[in-house]
Amino acid sequence: MLSSCLRCGVLGLRVPSLSRGCFVDPRDTLFHLPQDFKGEKVAREALDDQSVPKASRLKPEDWNRLQGKPPYGDLGPQTREHHTFTYQRKMFGTYGSASGINPGICWPRKDELEEMEVAEKLEVSSEDLITRIQRIKRRKQKEKEALIAKDKLFQRNMLKQPALIAAFEKRQKKILEEEDLQRIKKEELVEEVRAYFGYRIDPADPKFQEMVEKKKKEEAKREKELKKREKQAAELAKMIAEAAKMKSKKEKQDSKSETPAEDSKSETSAEDSKPETTSQN
């Protein structure tokens, strides 16, 4: 029974969200509130006076939640939903003594005890308090690890930012250079056509288009010839490098074959130079 009571109280965090204007069970209300209750308006005026960074664009209560504080601070409950057992139990379970709520409110009411007794009789197997606490701790640990991993990813991406910006600027510079090159080529082409015809011709003129096509073919032919020469030069350099490599390899092999012959020749000459000795009895 005690475990069921505590599950209903401190650990009863998974409750339906209470939105403004929703239905409130009369049994869940701490005490009767008048119909002309103005607490919400007072809370809004008081919260608006709090200093919240403008860059966050958060409401004061959301800013307090982000800072790990009760949403309405010292103002306490301000709406009808805030005066319910469910909401205040949730606040105490989230913020503890900082919420300013009496912990005794977490103890179930008489009608809740009766409902829990019926539920326990119908339950085949139920989690004990320790098991539920461990499950909640594991869930919070996973959330914490996911947040840490996300923060590390953010830090790594921030370290890459200067290199990415430099690469982007380099690409933009290359694009601008190519555009300038194309513009210069076009101007040179117009001048060549003008020099060919002897007067400045309209680019829309068919004669101009014919000359442009002719120049393009000539340019493509020059580029093809240039690539061919570059390819031939690369092949020639490769052949020279391979020939030099083979020559070096052959010289090494020749030097190795000459070394044993010289060693055997020196050994033979050393044996011939030894004096003859006779044994005397």
Instruction: Determine how many CB atoms are found less than 10 A away from the CB of residue 273.
Output: 7
Give 276's DSSP letter: P
pTM, 2 dp: 0.32
CA distance 37 to 41: 9
Give the tens place of pLDDT for each residue, 196-226: 777 777 777 787 778 778 878 888 888 889 8
Per the CB < 8 A criterion, the answer to whether 60 and 73 are in contact is: no
CA distance 281 to 268: 30
Phi, then psi, of 12 in degrees rounded to 5: -80, 65
Per the CB < 8 A criterion, the answer to whether 14 and 94 are in contact is: no
CA distance 202 to 218: 22
Per the CB < 8 A criterion, the answer to whether 58 and 48 are in contact is: no
Q: Kindly provide the b/e burial profile for residues 144-160, where b requires at least 16 CB atoms within 10 angstroms of the residue's own CB.
A: eeeeeeeeeeeeeeeee
Give the tens place of pLDDT for each residue, 88-147: 888 888 888 888 888 888 888 888 888 888 877 776 555 677 888 888 999 999 999 999
CA–CA–CA angle 88, 92, 97 (5° rounding): 130
Closest among 175, 14, 34 to 94, alpha carbons compared: 14
What is the residue extent of each domain of the chain?
2-142, 202-246
HSE-CB of 86 using CA atoms within 13 angstroms: 16
Give the tens place of pLDDT for each residue, 36-90: 555 555 455 555 555 666 666 777 777 777 878 888 776 666 777 777 888 888 8
